[in-house]
Amino acid sequence: MKQKILTLLISTALAAPAAMATDAGRLLNPHKAEVPVSVGVWKDDKAAMDTFIDELMAKMTLSEKIGQLDLQTSVRDRTGGTVNAEYEKLVRAGRVGGVFNAFEPKFNRTLQQLAVENSRLGIPLLFGYDVIHGHMTMFPQSIGEAASWDPELVKQGARIAAKETAADGVMWTFAPMADITRDPRWGRVSEGAGEDVYLNTVLSVARVEGFQGDDLAAIDTVAATAKHFVGYGLSQAGRDYHTTDVSEHELWTTQMPPFKAMVDAGVATFMTSFNDLNGTPASGSKFLLTDVLRDQWGFEGFVVTDYTAINELVPHGYARDDKHAAEIAFNAGADMDMVGQLYLGYMEELVNEGKVSMDTIDTSVRRILEMKWRLGLFEDPYRYFDEQRAKDTLLAAEHLEASQDAARRSMVLLKNDNQTLPLDLDTLDNIALIGPLADFDSIMIGNWRARGGRSKPIGVKRGLEAAIGDKAELHTTKGASFNFFADAAFAESRADHMVTYADPNDPKLAADIAEAVKIAKQSDVIVLAIGEHQGMSGEAASRVELTLPGNQRELMIELKKLGKPMVGVVFSGRPNDLSWEHENLDAIVHAWYPGTMGGPAVADILLGHANPSGKLPMTFPRSVGQVPIYYNMKNTGRPYYADNPNQRQEHYKSRYDDSPNTPLYAFGHGLSYSEFQYGEMTLSSDTLTLDGELTVSVEITNNGKHAGEEVVQLYTRQMVGSITRPVQELKGFDKVHFDAGETKMVSFTLTADDLAFYRADMSWGSEPGDFQVMVGTASDNVQRLSFKLID
């Protein structure tokens, strides 16, 4: 990815005017820019589309129009999809606009026939599904893909997911999730790209482009959804669905840019978030859904709520009852109601009472019909239901190969003392593979599995067995469990999905550890497959502790006593507290949830068939007590500099008594089997004018024996501003391949636009003054030089 392209992308996203009127009635931004065109990839004949939809809407009754505003979920069981009598009645009456959780060409064709051949006007259904990180072929969980720092790889993953999704009868996905978060307790960390606005923006756009391709009407593309709009990632205490209280500067600086960039990239739909934002639930916020999204950003697609989000305006305390909730959400700009059926139940009454206008109804209905036109559903409502195409596309060999490559390139080498990795099979006779994830194939695909459970993912044991062959003996046992539950009934309900013991005093725990120790004694090296069950991250899966759950620590303590080399492979959907593991293991690889081909990819990394190149997209804390912790914090009036001996003993500084301020692993951290040596950074000038450019260059050499990729990272810091500024801000990165012994010059270009921000008066722009520029291998391992931005 070229730096200039990234610069233009992020500058465009951030330059969106911010100080719009809020629900509290603040003034519109006086610096408002021209409204952009948001439909660059919607290659429709607008005149023909308008004529067709005008004629269709003229025939529609109010009841049929309201039906287009309704999104229902399919019911599935072990034998496939089902539709109950009431559901079928609604479809036949033209009272359902779309269906989600329905897939497979045969079943979806049946549903489409109900709508097209049995309803009065034959308006086709829109089929949606949560395709978050793959459909049948699963790629690394989104946070893992983000660790690749490779927009093209992320785009390719979404492209393949779109091909499989479209072949399986679905033309709309509820992704990408662009929520930025700094709290790893929040389970939905796994669905996003981490803590940084720049990286998140670039990867969100890459996913939109991958899903939607060059033309929404193409048979192998799907409509993407920008979610969750907005602020969901800042849920207080890391607890899902919780409230958010976000300053205006924070909202526009860190939360809005990825969504604005997706509008400019032509994203088809938006999804509202569950949270309230500064007292107004997002699903009922006219400020967000109309003033910003429509009037300011020029979005022309439609807005769907999250699951029953309109109904939830009542427990939020924002609506008196369901009818009032429907009125608020619709008038705010929520076009389609997901599952709640409040529009179905109350909209006609609201129109008759004058609380919702027919013009508003017609506008929302038109947006939904336009998207159906753009997807080609009016031309051929059955175009996505080709069973042969599904057989030819799902789990195609090239898709599995791409999945394995993505998994390899997403894994992060956190620690590697004494070059423990890669493992040398010429010197090893016996390898112990121990841990609750050692022989657990299905866990490789993590949460939001789409149809990935049917892809027969390959776990660590099978991956290593295939890679090792007869070169060494592999001995496997689980040795520990994931978790203990205080609630035995809850533990029993999860029994089919989790290796667990409801009672931490269960004697089987000691027996499992004893078996692991026995196997480890016979081995030359211990590989630990450790981490969280996939059910411990994702929606409604927040945690108050970030250490590895269950009795995994007890297992590792006993194995440590053997004095053998220990390699940890961590699987999870979030940053964990790995402080004990860092102190006691010889090497650690964070594999996230790597996807269908996760096991072979782990084997590739452990055995040196691939060189790890992933970098952390989110800070790893030393303990949960540091949370929230992130790289681009602001300084305080009493900053504590641990590397300054004159301040180390000072008490009245911003610090902890029982922990360093620094994280365990910083944002951007990631080691390699290569040895990258950075030369001295240079600047083309020590000044930058408002209309000029500054080139930042550094020579890098791979002094190691292995070819590898390095993510070179560019940061800046504004020393003084009209508001306080972060100590670092990512402004660019370049993933560069180096052969062993190769030297390359890596350069970045900075302009005044890259230094722009929302100033004290909420205007957008840069401020002349002193800056630092940083280049390095991680946010905490950089070189620094100074320059001035001048008028």
Residue type, 45: D
Helices 552-560 and 507-521 sit at what angle, rounded to 10 degrees? 40
Q: Which two tokens stand for residue 484?
A: 């203990």
Cα distances (Å, whole numbers) of residue 326 to 88, 229, 284, 304, 776 = 24, 18, 9, 13, 51
Q: Which two tokens stand for residue 196?
A: 């940084």
Nearest to 177 by CA among 157, 199, 193: 193
> Measured between alpha carbons, how far is 207 from 194 in angstroms, rounded to an integer?
15
Is the backbone of residue 376 left (phi > 0), alpha (psi -120 to 50) or beta?
left
Give the closest residue to 589 by CA, choosing from 604, 602, 608. 602
What kind and span of H or E run contains 530? strand 525-531
- Report the catalytic residues: 306
CB-based burial of residue 119 (10 Å sphere; 0-12 exposed, 13-18 middle, 19+ buried)? buried
195 touches 631 (CB < 8 A): yes
User: How far, in Å, are 38, 331, 351, 364 from residue 359 at the CA level?
Assistant: 22, 11, 10, 9
Q: How far is the CA of 108 from the CAs of 80, 126, 596, in angstroms?
A: 11, 10, 25
Rounded to 5 degrees, what angle do the CA atoms 190, 191, 192 make?
Answer: 100
Residues 6+ apart with CB under 8 A from 784: 772, 773, 774
687 CB neighbour count, 10 Å cutoff: 12
Closest CA to 142 of 258, 243, 237, 238: 258
- HSE-CB at 164 with a 13 A cutoff on CA atoms is 28
**In angstroms, rounded to a whole number, what is the distance separating the alpha carbons of residues 145 and 157?**
9
Token pair belonging to 729: 């801000």
